[in-house]
Homo-oligomer: A and B are copies of this chain.
Amino acid sequence: MGLKRTTINDLAAKLKISKSTISKAIKGYPDVSEKTRKKILKLAKKLNYKPNSIASSLRTHQTKTIGVIVPSVVHDFFSKVIDGIIQEAENNNYLVIILQSGEQADLEEKQLNLLKNKQVDGILLSVSNETGVKERLNKVLEKGIPVVLFDKIIKSFDCSKVIIDDKKAAYDAVCYLIHKGYKRIAHFGGVLTAQNSIDRFLGYKQALIDNNIPYNPDLVYVNPNNDDINDGYLNAQKMLKEHTNIDAVFAITDLIAIGVYKYFNKINIKIPEDIAVFGFSNWLVSSVVTPKMSTVNQPSFEMGKKATEILIDEIKKMNNDIEFSFQKVVLPTSLIIREST
């Protein structure tokens, strides 16, 4: 079992100084004489003393840990968000526990409870697509713990949020297509229980309307799983069966767009000559497919970093009983025009 780790009691015994003084010295409190502090720090270093974080947590009700729930980590976008989260957390001496909801609201609720039980100091959450999430959140989160929602949010849930303007990003993309001369633009969207699916759809629709192109609901295809290539593939097939004059597809994610690529490729439809394809998120794949895919650049690392920054700020404020109001940060997106449009 190795040697037992040094505790504050060991130091106290060896130095014949009380625990309280030692604790203060270690934590850099001012009311310790320089001489005693030096002595204490010296022995602490020698004995490799590290305060036991668990005992400290028990006492202070702080764990220096934050919890993160995302639908999935095997995901170009979320993995980058997590990268940002971990780095920002580490810079502030927080550790990060990660959980995956798999887009299942009940799992999400369970995991929220796990985190609460673990007494994380705060929670970062990108919500699942299922309905009833708000009620579940309310049920679990009784204002004792800061929560920041990012990317996939519940508009009506009262907390800080870090998002992009999905509607505007979609609007911009579709406007671009229209200005390029495309007129029969299909939308491969997501299920409309998710806010970002809704917003991207709304942006698509608005762009058509603002450019005097009639909105046709038949041109909207729902992809049950935003990140499933196969959904895009299947809908491409369906679409071509139902329509002959489509000239562009605006997809809700790059992976759906890749599915479209696959089917078009199979039946020899040329992108963008026959039909253009616009993706969303700028996954690595979008830059290596042929033709290179036009897409929306969605800040990911920054989103994770910003959400964590806000969360930690709120944690600190809450600890010190400082009032704060919830923030809503909208990160900028941009169009990346490549060869598919």
A interface residue numbers (CB < 8 A to B): 1-3, 50, 52-55, 57-58, 63, 65, 72-76, 79-80, 82-83, 86-87, 90, 95-100, 114, 117-119, 142-144, 229, 258, 261-262, 284-285, 288-290
Shortest CB-to-CB span from A56 to chain B, Å, is 10
Shortest distance between the CB of A34 and any CB in chain B (Å): 27
CB <8 Å contact, A142 and B288: no
Q: Which residues of B contact A98 (CB under 8 A)?
A: 82, 86, 96-98
List the B side residues contacting A1 at CB < 8 Å. 144
Given A63-B54, A72-B83, verify A97-B95 contact (CB < 8 Å).
yes
19 extra interface residue pairs, beta carbon distance < 8 Å, beyond A74-B80, A229-B288, A289-B289: A1-B144, A2-B142, A50-B117, A53-B117, A53-B119, A54-B63, A73-B73, A73-B86, A74-B79, A75-B79, A87-B100, A90-B99, A95-B99, A96-B97, A96-B99, A97-B98, A258-B288, A262-B288, A288-B289
| Residues from chain B with Cβ under 8 Å of A72 in the complex | 83
A262 closest partner in B (C-beta) = B288
A76 to B99, CA, bound (A): 17
**In the complex, A83 Cα to B82 Cα: how many Å?**
13
Bound-state CA distance A105–B326 (Å) is 39
Q: Copy number of this protein in the oligomer?
A: 2
- Give the residues in chain B near A54, CB-CB below 8 Å: 54, 57-58, 63, 119
> How far does the Cβ of A95 sit from chain B's closest Cβ, in whole Å?
5
Query: When A86-B99, A290-B290 are in contact, do A118 and B80 touch as well, CB less than 8 Å?
Result: no
Interchain nearest-CB distance for A278 vs B (Å): 17
Q: Give A261 to B287 CA distance when docked, in angstroms.
A: 12
How distant is the Cα of A261 from the Cα of B119 in the complex, in angstroms? Answer: 48
Residue of B nearest to A76 (CB): B74
Question: Chain B residues with Cβ under 8 A from A289's Cβ?
Answer: 288-290
Residues in chain B near residue A114, CB distance under 8 A: 95
15 A-B interface contacts by CB (under 8 A): A2-B142, A3-B142, A53-B119, A54-B54, A54-B119, A65-B118, A73-B83, A74-B83, A75-B79, A82-B98, A83-B100, A96-B98, A262-B288, A284-B285, A285-B285
Residue of A2, A73, A258 with highest tally of chain B CB at under 10 A: A73
Residues of B within 8 Å of A99, CB to CB, are 86, 90, 95-96
User: A80 vs B72: C-alpha distance in the bound complex, in angstroms?
Assistant: 10
Within the complex, what minimum Cβ distance (angstroms) separates A282 from chain B?
13
**Nearest opposing residue in chain B for A102, CB measure:** B87
> Are B95 and A53 neighbours in the complex by a CB distance under 8 Å?
no
User: Which 8 residue pairs are nearest across A and B when measured between Cβ atoms?
Assistant: A290-B290, A2-B144, A2-B142, A74-B79, A54-B58, A54-B57, A79-B79, A95-B97
Most buried by B among A95, A117, A258: A95
Give A235 Cβ to nearest chain B Cβ, in Å: 17
